[in-house]
A and B are shown apart, each in its own frame.
Chain A
């Protein structure tokens, strides 16, 4: 095992932070405090955390409509995220973006995105920028299986291959694009096969195994930094909740959900950590600390002011 216990514990903490954040978000949503559609990341935590564990603050990510997990894994602040979900002036976007538009360019988060495939166009630009400025920054582009049927996916992979950009395309195949089963709308069984069209390396990884994700992305990041160009990684995973909070999920049966819950990425890492010598107390205290942080984040968000109506015209243009 290459990863130290400390690093595994950090991954455990980040994954649990995502899980518990999303559970709070669902509660706030059900209380009517969150507007519009909200897409939660529960079940897929190992992908964001395993990938971002390879990244430095200056590395870039582009995210998706299901972006809370990516944001937390890249170092996003719980208070600002929670405040944004509640539409408050103290939120990441001053209440103008909401769940689907959280961005923090100072730590390389180039935005969640409300358009399926939206970030797939932007990520190669960040990678190009890094290359032109002569830095060794890399871009990790998160997207779902559904986005690989968008034209931009193909334009982007071709461009990144031709320009040998330092980018990792990370497909989270969670088996559904909204209500459509991936195997009914994808012409290939494995999204990874699509890399062959652009002559770039690809890899399929168990998206519920954070160590496997970490190692696959590590190889891809090293290749990117070594002027080896892009890689396509397909992480096979599953979203436990529906497409959006409140989705009745008529398109899948409960047995399938239960089967995937038995493969919980967080429990799996917890078991590994115990094998590595972590104690139940250690894991418990991590959870307690996160719960406390989330209490504070929710208090902060709820006690924060609404934006002033005049702010509607701010931030459209740089003056």
Chain B
């Protein structure tokens, strides 16, 4: 099968959906000739022109506001916010407006809006360009939150997001755009709310997504070789809706859970997963305290040594797996 990068897979998803439905269009900063700051829309401007690959001023609030207005009136916008850090200047439009519009109107309004953005650290972008803020949006009823890792998942989930009639926050990772992987030529969609078991195992369950998924898979490989441990790795793919069933089943099987995310530990999505497990039947199967491997509770620093110190990595995941399995 052919291989694509995440960047190419995302671009192909938008391209296909724009051909399928003339109401789909993309709007955002620097997305035309430049192709977006991480090159995701490269070439689409030449193909579709400035009406549908629509450059905006650096005005995040009205990017989301106007995308919402367009979504409420028959269009299917994909609004790009260059960094998830910049959602902070569009919060009213995302949280008070887009997320609640359908509910407040008693179901009269549909909001087929995709907000594409990217987050995470790893390239020295410092505290205002490296955050992982996905949990904020999970907290708001009315938003769907999608966070892919592989090219296959990125394409299938973005196509689903574009066809969804609800507001979707689609969170990419700046360090994952060059990840490559198999992507079939033929069309496919990936449903929301269905976690993907990336690797089967029986001793411990590891939940990881986005940039952390390859780290978790690497840790799982190492654990087989180094400790003879069988590690199950699950990517939830979508954080809202969240596939609790797959996780609960896995933990019931392994009795151990390690949750990995790049966002700071407190109130990260790992906290929610931990609480869900405690409230579920999986609680009775736990043989060890659950572990969270997460970003340190500090703003993301610029200096490389400091930044890497603050982020989760393969070694930290391995250490957590070993603690969970009582391996010295």
Contact = CB atoms under 8 A, between A and B. Distances in A.
A193 B166 CA distance: 38
Given A93-B106, A105-B105, A316-B141, A126 B57 contact: no
Interface in A288-319: 314-318
Interface string A133-175: 1000001000000000001100110110010000000000000
Most chain B CB neighbours (cut-off 10 Å) among A62, A91, A129, A162: A129
A319 B231 CA distance: 35
B70 A125 contact: yes
B61 A121 contact: yes
A120 B73 contact: no
Nearest to B92: A115
Nearest to A318: B165
Contact of A110 (B66, B72, B141, B144): B72
Contact of A94 (B57, B70, B73, B106): B106
Contacts of B142: 316-317
Contact of A133 (B74, B92, B103): B74
A152 B107 CA distance: 26
A101 B61 contact: no
Contacts of B64: 121
B104 A118 contact: no
B110 interface: yes
Contact of B106 (A60, A91, A152): A91
Given A110-B72, A126-B72, A159-B59, A316 B66 contact: no
Contacts of B141: 316
A103 interface: yes
A93 B108 contact: yes
A92 B25 CA distance: 31
Given A125-B66, A155-B62, A159-B62, A97 B106 contact: yes
A126 B69 contact: yes
Nearest to B110: A318
Given A316-B142, A317-B166, A122 B105 contact: no
A219 B234 CA distance: 60
A111 interface: yes
A75 interface: no
A316 B101 contact: no
A317 B142 CA distance: 6
A123 B106 contact: no
Given A115-B96, A125-B67, A125-B69, A155 B106 contact: no
Given A132-B25, A317-B166, A122 B106 contact: no
B105 A97 contact: yes
Contact of B104 (A96, A117, A152, A156): A96
B70 to A, nearest CB: 4
B248 interface: no
A60 B73 contact: yes
B107 A94 contact: yes
A129 B62 contact: no
B74 A129 contact: yes
Contacts of B160: none
Contact of A129 (B65, B75, B96, B101): B75
Contacts of B23: 133
Contact of A97 (B56, B68, B104): B104
Interface residues of A, number: 47
Contacts of B68: 121-122, 125
A114 B105 CA distance: 13
A152 B92 contact: yes
B78 interface: no
A114 B95 CA distance: 13
B69 A103 contact: no
Contacts of A152: 61-62, 65, 92-93
A70 to B, nearest CB: 15
B316 interface: no
Interface string B85-125: 00000001100110001111111111000000000000000
A75 to B, nearest CB: 15
A122 B69 contact: yes
B71 interface: yes
A130 interface: yes
A230 interface: no
A94 B75 CA distance: 26
Contacts of B70: 125-126, 128-129, 132
B186 interface: no
Given A111-B105, A126-B69, A121 B97 contact: yes
A315 to B, nearest CB: 4
A252 to B, nearest CB: 29
Nearest to B62: A155
A94 B104 CA distance: 9
12 contacts: A103-B108, A105-B105, A111-B101, A111-B104, A111-B105, A121-B69, A124-B66, A156-B62, A158-B62, A315-B105, A316-B141, A317-B144
Interface of B: 23, 25, 51, 56-57, 59, 61-62, 64-75, 77, 92-93, 96-97, 101-110, 141-142, 144, 164-166
Closest 3 CB pairs of A and B: A121-B65, A125-B69, A93-B106
